[in-house]
Amino acid sequence: MKLMPCMIAVMAGLAGLGHSQTPDGDMDARSIVLPQRRVIPPVNRTVRQPVTLEKVNALVRVNGRSAQTTLELSVHNGGNVPTEAELVLPVPEGVVVKGFYYGDGKASWQASLMPADEARRLYDRIVARRLDPALLEFAGFGAIRSSVFPVPARSSVKLGVVYEQLLTPVDGRLDYVLPRTEALSGHAAWTMRVEISPGTAGIGNVFTPSHPMERHRLKDETLVLTLAEEKMSPGPFRLSWMESAAKKGEAFYGPDISVYAAPDAENGRNGYFLAMLGKDSPGNEKQIRRELTLVLDRSGSMRGEKLASMKEAAKQIISGLNPGERFNVITYNEGVNLFEAAPVERNAATEKAAHVWLDAVVAHGGTNIHEALATALAQPSREGMLPVVLFLTDGLPTIGRTSEKSIASLAGEGNREGRRIFTIGVGEDVNAPLLRRMAEISGGLPSYVLSGENLELKLAQVFRQLYGPVFRNVRYSVCSLDGREQPGRVQDAIPSGRLPDIYSGAPAVLAGRYVGTSPFLLKGTCLDRSNREQSFSVVVEPERISSVKDDFTARIWAARKIGSLETALMDMGADPAHTGVLGNDPRTRELVEEIMQLSRDFGILSSAASFFADDGGSAPWRGESVSPSSSRFRDYGRVMQESREGLGSIALQRNAVEKKRELSVNKFNRQMDKHGRSVSFEGTAQIAQNGYFNQNGVWMENTVLRTPDKESPVRTVQVGTPEYAAVADKLINTNRQGLLALDGSVMIRLDGETVLMQNSFP
């Protein structure tokens, strides 16, 4: 490796140390590189801190039960003189350091592994000297600490750290954690890539509760998950997967089941749980044959490019069907036209005939959604096939029966063959709540094609979702261990009674609250791709598996609950008796109050928040009490009920559906606003089971917001004092130490009193 003269001079001063750890007395003069967040500056605060963390690339390779993590860091010195830095990398206990390199030449450098208790003492020393509690949120982890290295002036250097760990299975599940900060600010850009080789046990039911990941398989069945964000969501990266029972020789063909649980912070005998049911198949398994009906809008508003794109996409979809699969095409305006009286097998002759028939389709007239849907659902279905409807429209129901309730009822009670309806709304002049409801009632999904989006591409994306579920008709019940139904052990279960279809790589989720710590049984049945009934069951033991470290279970449950309540409120808007202002209807008041309380308690902003929070820091209930008389309350209900069409309506549906299907916590509360823009809310934070809201520079815990000020005198503790350290220890013991990473001051409730923690030096 070629070294600049200034670097040689710096290294010469370290030669006598033999690349060993420098004494802590010299720590004050150097920067501490903390990859999980940022660079902690030297103690000398009169010098502008020139060292920054530019980027982190993380690569995790899993082979069987062994995981190797490689972190490559880019550190930049923007100053005019070389400076010294040291790496402190919090890691899980039990890792083994395999390598540490410095510079583009990957020259070998020295690093040591510190156990958790020794790492904690190092964290405390850094906090005491620099009055920066950033490291304390990693209490309980070990640490990799490097020898001091130089960072040349106006240059960047690369650091590489490689460590390995052996993952211990718990109930057939392997869990991987990469510690990262809960801070919403100060992040370098991160990329993540995880490669999971199937090993001897195989891969089943992969779950990333912390960050949404793109996934694909390599030819050797290695599962690859990737995440590339300029601003990666805060919090540790978590990954779990089941060791697939089928490849162990065990005769089990149902879904893999994994259960996570966390105790309620206020009543430890109760808590929250997530049951994940899935099968991450390699893609070469038998696919259930589909019976697809395309229902296409040819009203006057479809003229031009929309009609041409729709017809071309329909032709590609028909051509993409597998041998033995069946299809039909229905077009509609004020009337309905069928390609065939019933679905036909796709072959060269029927494909060619369908293409010719589509070429003759022209656009004019109104939009009779009810009759088009009724015609599609009345078709006879071939036994043993999966009947699916892809329903496209660019307008509102204007002809025939136009009642939302009537059309939605047809999609549910009138759907005798159990067809899954996948709806596609084109443009902004659609009844978005109706399309969402048609899809959800039938077990399908809604999609929307906005202005500027490619209709042909969107239709192709929806079609790829229709390859057929791994399991369908998934039903469950809650029982005692002897098999007797015991529904009272679970409350607020989402969904209730029946789970959505299970697709490869997309598990079904049962979220709920458990009551009591004694074990109970979740069991159920489903149909597999061969149309055979499979049974499944899992014993849930809250006392054994419940952990405060799995607090994501509470937040995912709360998000799904909010989404369910939002859609229920919007569905009430389909009835003219409930539109407009809330008035005195107790049903709407109850829904709004519950949504707003969950939003406050967990820091999960509801869909309507983006409709009145232009600064990214407001919330519907800030600055006033949650009561039916408040203006925010009335505005909230009006927004959620009145909007039946337009871009704002589509945004509300998208937001609510994404919450109802949430698989990874949404720390930035990203959602779509009424203008169709993606917005996030950095004035809110979700840590442990609490929501935090930035009010005039102070992070307010939800427990403080619901405590009357007159009953709560405030005790102030300043970072660097013994009082602060004592409070920090209590937070660490209850898994709330992530709030130590929030910049500025944080007001919390602790042991019955209100405490203002000043996390930075004044």
CATH number at residue 520: 2.60.40
Per-residue confidence at 483, pLDDT binned at 50, 70, 90? confident
DSSP string computed for 370-390: HHHHHHHHHS---TTSEEEEE
Residues 462, 534: one domain?
no
Q: Kindly tell me if the per-residue pLDDT of 464 is higher than 90.
A: no
Number of domains in the chain: 5
d(CA 70, CA 692): 33
Q: 106-148, pLDDT tens digit by residue?
A: 666 788 899 999 999 999 999 888 888 989 999 999 999 998 8
Sign of the Cα pseudo-torsion (642, 643, 645, 650, in order):
negative
DSSP characters for 690-702? EEEEEETTEEEEH
Highest mean pLDDT among 126-130, 200-204, 338-342: 338-342
Per-residue model confidence (pLDDT) at position 3: 36
127 in the same domain as 44: yes
pLDDT at 57 over 50: yes
537/581 same-domain check: no
pLDDT bracket for residue 24 (50, 70, 90): low
Task: Please indicate, yes or no, whether residues 100 and 193 belong to a single structural domain of this protein.
Answer: yes
The answer to whether residue 63 sits within a structural domain is: yes
Q: Give the per-residue pLDDT at 4.
A: 35
| End residue of a domain, out of 681, 706, 736 | 681
Tell whether 436 is covered by a domain. no
CB burial string 218-236: b at 16+ within 10 A, e below: eeeebbebebeeeebbbbb
In angstroms, rounded to a whole number, what is the distance separating the alpha carbons of residues 374 and 354? 21
Least confident window among 1-5, 129-133, 271-275, 437-441 = 1-5
Query: Does residue 509 register a pLDDT over 90?
Result: yes
Mean pLDDT on 49-57 = 87
Q: What is the pLDDT of residue 562?
A: 94
Are 298 and 281 found together in one domain?
A: no
pLDDT of 296 reads 96
Beta-strand ranges (E) seen in 644-689 are 671-672, 678-679, 684-687
Average of per-residue pLDDT across 443-448: 91
Q: Where is average pLDDT lowest: 467-471, 536-540, 689-693? A: 467-471
Whether residue 338 is found in the same domain as residue 377: yes
* pLDDT of res. 713: 79
Q: Is the pLDDT of residue 15 over 70?
A: no
Residues 567 and 668 in one domain: yes
Model pLDDT for residues 720-732, shown as the tens digit of each residue: 899 999 999 999 9
- Min mean pLDDT across 447-451, 510-514, 706-710 is at 706-710
Q: Are residues 677 and 717 in the same domain?
A: no
211 part of a folded domain = no
Res 583: pLDDT: 47
Q: pLDDT, tens digit, for every residue of 665-682?
A: 999 899 998 888 888 888
Query: How far apart are the C-alpha atoms of 273 and 666, rounded to whole Å?
Result: 18
Query: What is the extent of the structural domain holding 747?
Result: 696-762
**In contact, 388 and 358? CB cutoff 8 Å:** no
Is residue 243 domain-resident?
no
**Of residues 24 and 547, which shows the higher confidence score?**
547
Q: How confident is the model at residue 247 (pLDDT cuts 50, 70, 90)?
A: very low
Measured between alpha carbons, how far is residue 196 from residues 504, 604, 664 in Å? 16, 32, 19
How confident is the model at residue 186, as a pLDDT?
67
pTM: 0.89
3-class secondary-structure state, position 705: helix
Domain boundary among 646, 681, 716: 681
Predicted pLDDT at 642: 61
Q: For residue 451, what is the domain's CATH number?
A: 3.40.50.410
Distance in angstroms (rounded) separating the CA atoms of residues 517 and 263 = 9
- The tens digit of pLDDT for each residue in 690-709 reads 999 988 889 999 988 877 66
> How far apart are alpha carbons 148 and 87 in whole angstroms?
8
Residue 432 domain flag: no
Residue 248: predicted pLDDT: 44
Answer yes or no: do 51 and 197 share one domain: yes
Indicate whether 571 pLDDT > 90: no
Report the share of the chain in percent with pLDDT over 90: 51
Provide the pLDDT for residue 569. Answer: 85
Residue 616 has pLDDT above 50, yes or no: no
Q: Is the pLDDT of residue 272 over 70?
A: yes
Q: How far apart are CA 98 and CA 92, in angstroms?
A: 15
Burial of 107 (C-beta count, 10 Å sphere; 0-12/13-18/19+): exposed
Is it the case that residue 16 has pLDDT exceeding 50? no
Q: Looking at the structure, do residues 120 and 37 belong to the same domain, yes or no?
A: yes
Looking at the structure, tell me whether residues 519 and 372 fall in a common domain: no
**Distances from the Cα of 425 to the Cαs of 301, 390, 455, in angstroms?**
13, 11, 10
Given a cut of 60, is residue 284 above it in pLDDT? no
Average pLDDT across the chain, whole number: 85
Smallest CA-to-CA distance from 444 within 464, 466, 421, 425 is with: 421
Distances (CA, A) of 604 to 62, 184, 230, 538, 653: 33, 15, 22, 30, 17
CA nearest neighbour of 725 among 135, 234, 266, 142: 135
Collapsed DSSP state (helix, strand, coil) of residue 615: coil
Q: Is residue 215 part of a domain?
A: no
| Average pLDDT over every residue of 620-626 | 45
The confidence band for 606, taking pLDDT boundaries of 50, 70 and 90, is: confident
pLDDT of residue 19: 40
Q: Tell whether 314 and 448 lie within a shared domain.
A: yes
Are the CB atoms for 278 and 256 separated by under 8 Å?
yes
